């Protein structure tokens, strides 16, 4: 069985959305994550490097795949339909079939390696002792 957990950084991102008046975005992300936790079919698809369906658009975090990071970004149709440009960043550990939500970021998120939030996501990945794969 697959599982999904929120890293403390993602919880803080959601709290920040609630605190800054983006309750609509925070609410939709939280509802999606709660539903995803119990939907094995959806969880199975979240590790596809490219998947679009069931209200989500999944894409691997391409800049870091060659470096061995098993990272993804997810867009929710429910957010896009309302003009709420947020993404969910997560990692997958296939050894235990677990997803780790590492962040909830604005669409303008800078995917460059030296960007502070990217560094935060990579640090969380390493702190969780997730494997690196040959690129």
* SS3 state at 39: coil
Query: Pairing relation of β-strands 86-93 and 98-106?
Result: antiparallel
Total domains in the chain come to 1
Q: Sign of dihedral through CA atoms 117, 134, 95, 38?
A: positive
pLDDT digits 0-9 by tens, 34-69:
999 999 999 999 999 999 999 999 999 888 989 999
Could you count the other beta carbons within 10 Å of the beta carbon of residue 7?
21
pLDDT at 135 over 70: no
pLDDT digits (tens, 9 = 90+) for 73-88: 999 999 888 989 999 9
Judge whether 43 lies within some domain. yes
pLDDT for the residue 58: 97
Query: What global pTM score does this model have?
Result: 0.94
Q: Which two tokens stand for residue 49?
A: 């490097």
Residue 13 pLDDT more than 80? yes
Q: For residue 59, what is the domain's CATH number?
A: 3.30.2310.20
Residue 96 lies in a domain: yes
């Amino acid at each position: 069985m697959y599982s999904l957990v929120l890293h403390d950084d993602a919880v803080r991102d959601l709290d920040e959305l609630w605190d800054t008046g983006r309750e609509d975005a925070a609410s939709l992300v939280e509802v999606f994550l709660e539903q995803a936790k119990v939907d094995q079919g959806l969880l199975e698809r979240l590790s596809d490097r490219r998947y679009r369906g069931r209200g989500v658009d999944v894409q691997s975090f391409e800049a870091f795949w060659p470096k061995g990071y098993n990272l993804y970004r997810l867009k929710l149709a429910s957010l896009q339909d309302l003009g709420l440009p947020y993404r969910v960043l997560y990692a997958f550990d296939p050894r235990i079939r677990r997803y780790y939500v590492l962040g909830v970021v604005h669409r303008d998120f800078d995917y460059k390696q030296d960007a502070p939030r990217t560094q935060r996501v990579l640090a969380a990945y390493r702190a969780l002792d997730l494997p690196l794969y040959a690129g």
